[in-house]
Homo-oligomer: A and B are copies of this chain.
Amino acid sequence: MRVLGVDPGLTRCGLGVVDGRPGRATMVAVGVVRTPSDGPAGERLVYLEQQLGGWLDRFEPDVVAVERVFADVNVASVMTTAHATAIALLTAAKRGIPVHFHTPTEVKAAVTGSGRAEKAQVTTMVTRILSLSQAPRPADAADALALAICHLWRGAAEGRLTDLARAARR
């Protein structure tokens, strides 16, 4: 399965493509889409849609994994994050690619074993899991890869739970 992880944002939108299956994960691509923070909001969204569409068309992921953001932090940044999330949903839906959301806690737990891990620990584990020679930069890029790994890992865990539940009913 191929997953495109998206760490949504307008100033920096992290993107990471990972191929994997239970216990395996290989990085295919990583990058960041940047738009000028003083640019017109609409034009920034148009640019993000173009770039994100380009990644979807080039890497053809089976699923897109996006960070689920809560409105308990800075109001202004939550709004632009929500706008970027909408563009991810829109561009994926236009191509018939399903989108799944994962909370920061789920992502941290998936790659470090603890939902309360520090950001640096997540980056360290992403680098280790993907056998990268150096840590992905900036943090948004590492977060996007962590999201993709989380989706592969959790999907596997949920699959196993389904199997166990099925076995228990027999």
Q: Using CB atoms and an 8 Å cutoff, list the residues of chain A in contact with chain B.
A: 40-43, 45-46, 49, 69-72, 75, 78-79, 82-87, 89-90, 92-94, 99
CB <8 Å contact, A46 and B94: yes
Nearest 4 A-B pairs (CB), nearest first? A42-B93, A82-B82, A86-B86, A83-B86
Number of copies: 2
Q: Which chain B residue shows the least CB distance to A78?
A: B71
Most chain B CB neighbours (cut-off 10 Å) among A45, A46, A92: A45
Task: Tell me if A's interface is mostly helix, strand, loop or mixed.
Answer: helix
Residues of B within 8 A of A87 (CB): 86, 90
Give A94 to B90 CA distance when docked, in angstroms: 15
Residues of B within 8 A of A93 (CB): 40-43, 45-46
Task: Say whether, besides A75-B71, A83-B86, A86-B86, A99 and B46 are in contact (CB < 8 Å).
Answer: no
* Smallest CB separation, A61 vs chain B (Å): 14
Give A70 to B94 CA distance when docked, in angstroms: 29
Residues of B within 8 A of A70 (CB): 75
Give A69 to B78 CA distance when docked, in angstroms: 12
